[in-house]
């Protein structure tokens, strides 16, 4: 620790053993230590690639499902909507006439 604090500002101490590497630097009274390992780095890259592949496949599946849903969604023609609206008006008017007719004749 003392020898690391005695390093000049910006200098670094590096040590490697097989595939493991350590670097210690001294900046502004603070010691920064960084460690890497080639085999761990390869594992990280492997799992990152798997993640990206899975994410891309999921996005592609989502897009294809949305397209499939849009194809299967039935759209009614405008005249069918208008016919249903008119039917609602007719049923409402008939119900109103029926209810008020009963009230008039009961008096």
What six digits make up the tokens of 29? 């009274």
pLDDT at site 61: 95
Q: Domain limits of the chain?
A: 2-38, 43-97
Length of the chain: 107
Q: What is the DSSP letter of 73?
A: S
The tokens for 74 are 């039935």
User: Is 90 exceeded by the pLDDT of residue 84?
Assistant: yes
Over residues 100-105, the mean pLDDT reads 73
**Rounded CA separation 95/23 (Å):** 87
More confident: 71 or 103: 71
pLDDT digits (tens, 9 = 90+) for 6-38: 777 778 888 888 888 888 888 777 888 888 887
């Amino acid at each position: 620790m003392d020898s690391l604090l005695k390093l000049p500002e910006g200098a670094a101490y590096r040590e490697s053993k097989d595939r493991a590497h350590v670097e210690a630097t001294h900046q502004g009274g603070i010691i920064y230590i960084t460690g890497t390992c080639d085999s761990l780095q390869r594992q990280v890259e492997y799992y990152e690639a798997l993640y990206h592949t899975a994410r891309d496949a999921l996005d592609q599946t989502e897009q294809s499902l949305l397209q499939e849903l849009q194809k299967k969604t039935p759209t009614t023609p405008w005249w069918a909507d208008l016919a249903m609206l008119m039917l609602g008006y007719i049923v409402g008017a008939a119900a109103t006439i029926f209810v008020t007719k009963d009230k008039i004749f009961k008096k």
